Structure 1
Amino acid sequence: MPEVIFPGPEGRLEGRYHPQKERNAPIAIVLHPHPQFGGTMNNKVVYNLHYAFHNLGFTVLRFNFRGVGRSQGEYDQGVGELSDAAAALDYLQSMNNSFKHCWVAGFSFGAWIGMQLLMRRPEITGFVSVSPPANMYDFSFLAPCPSSGLIINGDADRVAPPADTRALVTKLHEQKGITITHEEREGADHFFQDPHMEPMIATVSDYVKRRLTETTR
């Protein structure tokens, strides 16, 4: 999988780009957890999400937010990181201008950024949010949420308590025209440490596969 360097708002951004041979393959970006708490594009959840999408036929890009790894710039409270994600999507689309579907996936802080990106980019047709930190960040901008997607968390999550995630899902369920699928894994913590990683990724893969099948009928 080639390492890539592409332009971001504050200088270069470092990523991993995994293309398909098919020119019209669907595309996805995967967003990593909080930069100030050790989050990088090589986080285990992010890495596994990346390969799950690629195995489903997606051309996939994951990258380091500003100030992480070889990406230039400094942490910017989520504002600059959203701009980084938009630049990453621009880069991915420039390399794949005949894509059929565009998805965003994020873990923890990355889930929050991904949902904001969803609001700004109408071409995004689906999302996956793993362990969204609804207790730490305001998700009220999802009014209305423009796309159907999957929210998945663990019922033993002490970083982003399940009650807050359930409250977020309840609010999204009230919206018309979209379907929010919610999966809560019994015994799983915030990071889906083994033995919960594999079943979580399988749930994501099954969901994305079903959505793709529905749109090609």
Structure 2
Amino acid sequence: MPEVIFPGPEGRLEGRYHPQKDRDAPIAIVLHPHPQFGGTMNNKVVYNLHYAFHQMGFTVLRFNFRGVGRSQGEYDQGVGELSDAASALDYLQSMNANSKHCWVAGFSFGAWIGMQLLMRRPEITGFISASPPANMYDFSFLAPCPSSGLIINGTADRVAPPADTTALVGKLKEQKGITISHEEIEGSGHFFEGPHMETMISTVSDYVKRRLTESTR
């Protein structure tokens, strides 16, 4: 899978780009967890989401936020990281101008950034939000949430307690015109450890495939 370097707001950003042969394949970006707590694009959840999207026929990009790996700049409380994500999407779209579907997937801190990106980019048609830290960050900017998506978390998550995620889902489900799906993985912690990873990935894949099928009817 080719390593790529593309321009970001604070210098170059490092990514992994996995294209399809099909010129109008759907596109997806995958966003990693908190840079100050060891989050990188090679995080297991991010890596597995990346490959799941590729296996479903997506051209996929995951990348390191500023200050991580070979990406230039330094941590910016989420503000700069949102700009990084927008730059990554610009880069992915520039390489795939014929794509009709655009998805964003994020894990933990990356889920929070991904949900903000939804508000900036109306072309995003779907999202995956894995273990969103609704206890740590304000998600009230999702008013209204512009596209349908899946929120997935573990029932034993001690980093982002399930009650906070359920409350977030409840607020989003009150909004008209979109459908928020919510799946909880029994016994899983924040990082979908062990066998829970496979369950999470298969749940995400089933959801995305269903959405793609619906969009072609």
Matches within 5 A, 1:35-114: 35-114=35-114
What's the Cα RMSD here? 0.3
Structure 2 residue runs without a partner (length 5+): none
Q: Quote how far apart the aligned CAs of 1:100 are.
A: 1.1
Tell me the distance in 2 between the aligned counterparts of 1:5 and 1:193: 31
Aligned to 1:190: 190
Letter in 2 for 1:150: L
Q: TM-score, normalised by structure 2?
A: 1.00
Aligned to 1:151: 151
Tell me the distance in 2 between the aligned counterparts of 1:52 and 1:211: 15
Tell me the distance in 2 between the aligned counterparts of 1:61 and 1:195: 25
Q: Does 1:142 align with 2:142?
A: yes
Q: Quote how far apart the aligned CAs of 1:185 are.
A: 0.6
Aligned to 1:171: 171
Q: TM-score, normalised by structure 1?
A: 1.00
Aligned to 1:28: 28
Q: Quote how far apart the aligned CAs of 1:195 are.
A: 1.3
For residue 196 of structure 1, give the secondary structure of its aligned residue in structure 2.
helix
Tell me the distance in 1 between the aligned counterparts of 2:92 and 2:143: 27
Aligned residue pair count: 217
For residue 195 of structure 2, give the secondary structure of its aligned residue in structure 1.
coil
Matches within 5 A, 1:5-24: 5-24=5-24
For residue 42 of structure 1, give the secondary structure of its aligned residue in structure 2.
coil
Deviation above 4 Å: which 4+ runs of structure 1?
none
Q: Quote how far apart the aligned CAs of 1:35 are.
A: 0.1
Structure 1 residue runs without a partner (length 5+): none
For residue 76 of structure 2, give the secondary structure of its aligned residue in structure 1.
coil
Letter in 2 for 1:25: A
Spell out, residue by residue over 1:25-65, the C-alpha distance to the aligned partner (whole angstroms, 9 max, x if none). 00000000000000000000000000000000000000000
Tell me the distance in 2 between the aligned counterparts of 1:159 and 1:199: 19
Letter in 2 for 1:76: D
Letter in 1 for 2:74: E
Q: Quote how far apart the aligned CAs of 1:23 are.
A: 0.3
Tell me the distance in 2 between the aligned counterparts of 1:2 and 1:38: 23
